[in-house]
Amino acid sequence: MPGTNLTRAEAQERARLLTVDAYEIELDLSNAQEGGTFRSETTVRFDAAEAGDTFIDLVAPTVHGIELNGHPLDADSVFADSRIALSGLAAGANELRVVADCAYTNTGEGLHRFVDPVDEQAYLYTQFEVPDARRVFASFEQPDLKATFRFTVRAPEGWTVISNSPAPAQGADAGDTGNVWRFPPTPRISSYITAVIAGPYHSVHSSWEGDDGRSVPLGIYCRPSLAEFLDAEDIFAVTRQGFDWFQEKFDYPYPFAKYDQLFVPEFNAGAMENAGAVTIRDQYVFRSKVTDAAYETRAETILHELAHMWFGDLVTMEWWNDLWLNESFATYTSIACQAYAPGSRWPHSWTSFANQMKTWAYRQDQLPSTHPIMAEIRDLDDVLVNFDGITYAKGASVLKQLVAYVGMDEFFEGVQHYFKQHEWGNTQLPDLLGALEQTSGRDLKTWSKAWLETAGINVLRPLVETEAGEGAGAGEGGGVLTRFAVRQEAPPLPAGATGSPVLRPHRIAVGTYDLVDGKLVRTDRIELDVDGELTEVPQLTGRPRPAVILLNDDDLSYAKVRLDPESLANVTRHLGDFTESLPRALCWASAWDMTRDGELPTRDYLDLVLSGIGKESDIGVVQTLHRQVRLALELYAAPEWRTTGLARWSEATRERLLDAEPGSDHQLAWARALAATARSDEQLSLLSGLLDGSAGVAGLAVDTELRWALLLRLVVMGRADEKEIAAELERDATSAGERHAAAARAARPTAEAKAEAWASVVEDDKLPNAVQEAVISGFVQTDQRELLAPYTAKYFAALKGVWESRSHEMAQQIAIGLYPSPQVRMSTLEATDAWLATAEPSAALRRLVVESRDGVDRALRAQSADAAAGRDRGRRAVCAGGGGRGRGSGPAPAGPGAASGARVRGR
């Protein structure tokens, strides 16, 4: 939106001039059931270092009155776009009062209003990060102008209101219209972590008891229509685990008076770290059976937000270029808590991190928009698109390496000093590094420059030399190692990225594995520092060649890893035979990265997965492989072979569903995998039978969420239509059901259905955020490429207008979700380039489109590699006088590119 931006230079000048003391905010939400607008009254007291001019931020349809130091200002003159100009400030104390009508939203920004179709009651919550407190009250909207906040809220009778501070002990006061909730002031915090949540929410309460005798009240809230599914004790258990572990590691008392977790509807993110009042997407209240991987993900989210109470809320970055300080730290500590806290259900959480979050980081770091972890953030538009895999996952990976580099005890001792020195304040990167240097004794400036201030990803490759000798052949290795070294590469940054590639210092482990009774068992582990282009590892010289030599074992560093040819061959045959989940995950991740890079043809990746996934015990890894195989087949497979590959995969999902242990997580995962890809008559008939009850799979619960997944696939394939969608919505007349129905209607394989879905998203702006997201997901079906082909031109014709007329969250959904990613062809790149050359998009929009373009470009390269592999196989089959390998045989050699790790041209 024009006029809603804020530059770093403006923020720095405002921070130089002002010290903000306190806000008093009165919100009248008594009309929330009807919607529209609400009355907002803000009084803010602040000091000015000198007489001068500044501004305060506000997004509101109407401003009724503005008073500065008791003098009225003409709203028509001083309020424009999102700012109220404040001229003639007094040096010293100032007081500003602003009375406005602000608007409820349905976009997940500001004060979001949602009406539950089950009870027809309205439910409200605020979401303020990055710049949306100004949609609810006048504020100096930047993280370093901290203040205390006192909220007074008028709400309908019977409602509960929750804020950062505890509710008044006596409850709400009776008012003329509804009840009035008067909250005590908060500690000094940033505006973006303030919160108000209101509605007839259901709640469960408990407490955390510390060893020092301190008790912290705990609350969990959700809508009454979800109360029967709320597993509060499980959520409390994870929360208490986090309190115990963080209190020990941080050595700083929990900084707020209570800790509420509110599961709210139509939430754009996973969760938000509002001080003492965390909001979490209510899809984490599971309505149907889910696998343990979903519980692990929910637990990581809970712990992530709890960690933010210290890192982000107690101590806050000065400006958004240090956003990573918040997000990377919370990500690292949440997963470390799962891995190391006594009694944790997920001691193998680093496996999930390696196979999911780091894959996200690797993808992000190879885009033209790659950036340093400590990114240059010029304005709010920059930060709004910077909540990405580098800020979260790469940053957490680097912190994990830093812990290995300085030692865990030294790391957390430094963090303890950091909290005590900067409590309730704002910091920059040097503040944290200085504390860590004191406790570790290491100079971290060079490390910081290499890891935090440069972009791109390194590749680590083994250099192996062997000769025949006695003892050779341990496991499936061969020969004696005469030399082993680690070669580090710094590939060129993607075209369009800024900066230069650099070699970095890595702390890694080298693991050796041999086959013992059919299992790949680690026989040695060597931890060392890798620096420069080549690092010798003399500890391995003279030893029998192991079956597998794995670089970056235990996943200590952040780098792409390749296997030597013999290790790759053994991994191909025995990937599922590793006794531990983490080395399997690292090999799976390496294979996926090679597939994306065109070093491993898609057909060989499919062979690898089919040969090894049956032995994969980690359900999170299994589900990740399901998604990756489907993506590879749909986008990276040679078009002429794609149908064959999809047929093999879809039949494999059916067979494995029928063979899975009844009632197991693996059975549910394979049912969902089949529901995502079924295409033959036999497969689709099974889906239909599961849905109508005429067929069954022993132990499989066909519950609400699985029913929608089955129906969606039947709709996509033309085996169900509006009648079946309406019937299923009648069975599930909830907000989740409405979203599923919207997706299914958009997924119907007709031109009329596509036109209707497109119009509802692009030509109209009435859909709530969650419904718009559902329609987009249903609209884009890779099985319907021809139906979607006309929408490439329509996308580029509408994009800039959508971006400039919608809120950021809504526009970003459209810009990313409707980009013609399934159209993997040169004409898509040409259309994108023509638009980029003429449309003059904002920097943020340009970044999103360039990232999407890169996905098509990468897919074209991968398709070319897969086609070349197919031609090579055909030539070998002809020379052998046969017709190629039969289904079920082992994978073909990955080819010279995969074996040697040679870079694909053009990267």
pLDDT for the residue numbered 779: 98
Distance of CA 505 to the CA centre of its chain: 27
pLDDT for the residue numbered 476: 57
Question: What is the rounded (10 degree) CA torsion for 600, 602, 605, 606?
Answer: -170
pLDDT for the residue numbered 872: 86
- Other CB atoms within 10 A of residue 496 CB: 14
As a whole number of angstroms, the distance between CA 457 and CA 312 comes to 27
The full set of domains in the chain, from first to last, is 1-199 (2.60.40.1730), 317-451 (1.10.390.10)
Regions of the chain where pLDDT drops below 50: 1-2, 471-475, 882-907
As a whole number of angstroms, the distance between CA 442 and CA 476 comes to 42
Taking only the tens place, the pLDDT of each residue in 185-234 is: 999 999 999 999 999 999 999 999 998 889 999 999 999 999 999 999 99
Structure tokens at 239: 């929360």
Instruction: Judge whether 414 and 436 are in contact, CB under 8 Å.
Output: yes
Structure tokens at 512: 């050796």
The residues assigned a catalytic role are 305
Structure tokens at 865: 């590699």
pLDDT for the residue numbered 170: 62
Distance of CA 596 to the CA centre of its chain: 20
DSSP letter string over 340-352?
HSTT-S-TTHHHH
Sign of CA dihedral 196, 200, 202, 204: positive
Structure tokens at 674: 């089949």
pLDDT for the residue numbered 376: 87
Taking only the tens place, the pLDDT of each residue in 723-760 is: 999 999 999 999 999 999 999 999 999 999 999 999 99
Q: What is the 3-state secondary structure (H, E, C) of 58-70?
A: CCCCEEEEEEECC
Phi, psi of 348 (to 5 degrees): -100, 30
pLDDT for the residue numbered 164: 98
Beta pairing class for 18-28 and 148-155: parallel
Taking only the tens place, the pLDDT of each residue in 325-367 is: 899 999 999 999 999 999 999 999 999 999 999 999 999 999 9
As a whole number of angstroms, the distance between CA 683 and CA 657 comes to 11
As a whole number of angstroms, the distance between CA 363 and CA 366 comes to 5
DSSP letter string over 555-582?
G-S--EE---HHHHHHHHHHGGGBSSHH
pLDDT for the residue numbered 4: 85
